[in-house]
Structures are given as C-alpha cells and as structure tokens.
Amino acid sequence: MTFTRKALNTFARAFAKDEDGATAIEYGLFAALVGAVIVGTVVTLGKQTNAGFTQVSDELSSAGITAPN
C-alpha cells in the first residue's frame, strides 16, 4: 500500500468514526458527489441517445427518406 492510500485509508476511518453530526462541509461534499453522479449519468445517457438517433437517421437515409426542406 502506498503512502497516499494509507493516508486516505486513515482519513476515511477517522471520518467514519466521527459522530459529531453532519457539518456544512459534509453536506457540501455529499452535494458534490450527487452532482458528479448526475453529470456522469446525463453524459452517458446523452451519448447513447445520440447514437440511437444517428442510427435511425442513417437507416431512414439509406431507405431514401429525407427531411423536407
């Protein structure tokens, strides 16, 4: 285990044992985590949705169906 992992492990254990209640910093960290998860989900779903629409568009174009001008 590297020094960084040991330090992080020590910090995580101390953080988990702290029973003083949630502080503003903890709420901020939680909000940042939730935000990161939301952004990651939107990016992933956006790429999949874009790929789906591109496939439909390609299929329509190959069938000779085009959008009206």
Is residue 3 one of the residues assigned to a domain?
Answer: no
The whole-angstrom separation of Cα 52 and Cα 20 is 49
Q: Which domain holds residue 49?
A: 29-61
Q: Is the pLDDT of residue 1 over 70?
A: no
| 43 domain-assigned | yes
Domain assignment present for 1: no
Which pLDDT score is estimated for 20?
63
pLDDT in the model for residue 40: 93
Domain count of the fold of the chain: 1
Q: Is residue 38 part of a domain?
A: yes
Q: Is the pTM of this model over 0.75?
A: no
Is residue 49 one of the residues assigned to a domain? yes
Q: Is residue 56 part of a domain?
A: yes
Q: Which pLDDT score is estimated for 53?
A: 93
In a domain, 24, yes or no: no
If you average pLDDT over every residue of the chain, what do you get? 85
Q: Report how far residue 10's alpha carbon sits from residue 16's, in angstroms, rounded to the nearest whole number.
A: 10
pLDDT tens-digit map of 19-42:
666 678 888 899 999 999 999 999
Write the secondary structure of 29-53 as one string of H (helix), E (strand) and C (coil): HHHHHHHHHHHHHHHHHHHHHHHHH
